Structure 1
Amino acid sequence: MYSFRNDYSEGSHARILKALMEANLVQDEGYGEDRYCLEAIRLIKARLGRNDVDIHFISGGTQTNLIAISAFLRPHEAAIAANTGHINVHETGAIEATGHKVIAVEVNDGKLKPENLKTVLEAHSDEHMVKPKLVYISDSTEIGTIYKKRELEQLSAFCKENKLILFMDGARLGSALCSAENDLKLSDLPSLVDAFYIGGTKNGALLGEALVICQDSLKEDFRYHLKQKGALLAKGRLLGIQFLELFRDDLYFDLAKNANKMASILSEGIGKAGFKFLIHSPSNQIFPIFPNTLIQKLEKNYLFNTWEKADAEHSVIRLVTSWATQENDVNAFLEDLKKAMQ
């Protein structure tokens, strides 16, 4: 069985394991104040071209979303998200459990636009309703689409004009930035969003996300929030070492490029076989539409998610490639697809 179910089925890149082993018996400070975390932060700041941002390492994406959003919002304030947004559908009500409503907006491409935000603001006009305050977006999105620079600039301008916090979930940011269709740079983000994170869990790390807080008003006392919600790790070096290795050179981006390349080969092969897709996705998640009978045959040798029904006889499946996916794994799937069609 080969899994295309997610991009965290494998452990981590060998360089990270080697670095963790080499540092294993070196004594250092705790709670993210060790030499590895500090050096990783320095490297990421250099990549961003900004020394005025705050960077915190957190173990996972849901933890990062929960801690950041609950820290940034006052009790009566709410987050706006696409209906497909991770905080809306895949985090077990984590944001709501902190007392903040998630206002979901129906979109067809996973991306929020200024007009979507305008509609929400108009519908929440007084103190008898929650106050929309934070805009949650993902890049790449949960359905594999990416934000182009112009789209993010327009969203950013609207948020600034309406005093909204713009927060980007970057669990798959590597895939988005390395997409052949992308025109955003990592260094563009601090001027366009108030906070975002660089996902490691889904891009070659054992675990970990690097939260970048750009807006000064959001920085104060953030380590208190980390500690209170159980995310200030005594052995924070375990996260710092991984990001240090990922950003020592271009490893972070090289791994994302591999995931995208493998997805592109899959997508091209499936398209040539005559199948359509739920949506055009230029990242490492693709969503082909297959007959249910064909899906049943493929399930004998491959793991993947059935995303939704297309009609009574067809369903959309999600295929996810990773930093570790090999071309022979992709080619084997395409060969088995051809055989299953016969």
Structure 2
Amino acid sequence: MNINDVMNFLKQYDGDDITIMEVCGTHTASISENAIPSLISDKIHLISGPGCPVCVTVSDYVDRLIELALNGNVIVTFGDMIRVPGSRQALADIKAQGADIRMVYSPIQTIELAKAEPDRSFVFAAVGFETTTPIYALLLDEIIRQGIENIKLLTALKTMPNVIARMCESENTIDGFLAPGHVAVITGSEAFAPLAERYNLPFAVSGFEAEEILASIYALVKLRGTGKVINLYKSAVNEKKNEKASDIVNKYLEPYDASWRGLGVIKDSGMAIKSEYSRYDAGSRELVNDYSHKNGCSCKDIITGIKKPTDCPLYNTACTPESPKGACMVSNEGACFNYITNNRK
């Protein structure tokens, strides 16, 4: 079936209502940028799940970064994390007051920064899913190999399977998942097979172009009610996991019970630095509390698909991309950011 046939089918679909959740921030962005909801039937509902790494990071993590910065450490991070609110402030606030917060495009840049100032302590903010976790493991590997003593990592590294299981058991009625393509490059499409079988739900591993997403939605509609994984991103995703990436991750990191914004602690849903390498950990395992809801933000319901961004009382009033109150409005992978910037309905 060609793409025109796919689009005609999806636009004219008049069967039972069907809800599909994407659990990848890049899919969230692409769906919005390409106005995909306007290309499909009103009976096919697309909702965003916990697929934006910044959005699912608890406020305790931001508070810890702020504490480290105020104690004289140099915080090294990607741009999005600088603006994510903690319980009271964001890194951007204390940067404006003189704290040393540095943005990089690659974690490996931290090594050169630390070498240039050996008398200062550097903390890299390592946030992400299976996609980026191997990069942080490689950073740790290089720090140890070079004997660098003035770098630590503060990690908030999450894994997908157990949080997807939580979504399957939530109050939402989800009929299928757009499986995260970037994650699947590392985990292989087989990572989603146990979930498909357990919950009798279809998973479509999808690329990120509009045609790829539409084809995946079509597949999920056709596969509704069947516990099957279909890989529609074969140019990048194999059935089996990436062994090389898995080996470097397992050398330095281990599963632990991670805390998610709006979801609490989920068993074995994160990766933390092993105890034998704890000297390189800036206190990651203790970060469990989340206070983001106290300002009236509905982020915890938005990242689980219970509410749309427009249901939040702060949306596009007190909370905007220029002045975000919640993490979902900060990242270009966040649902709220994409609703506003792309006028998604």
Q: TM-score range by the shorter chain?
A: 0.3 to 0.5
TM-score, scaled relative to structure 2: 0.35
With the length of structure 1 as denominator, give the TM-score of the two structures.
0.35
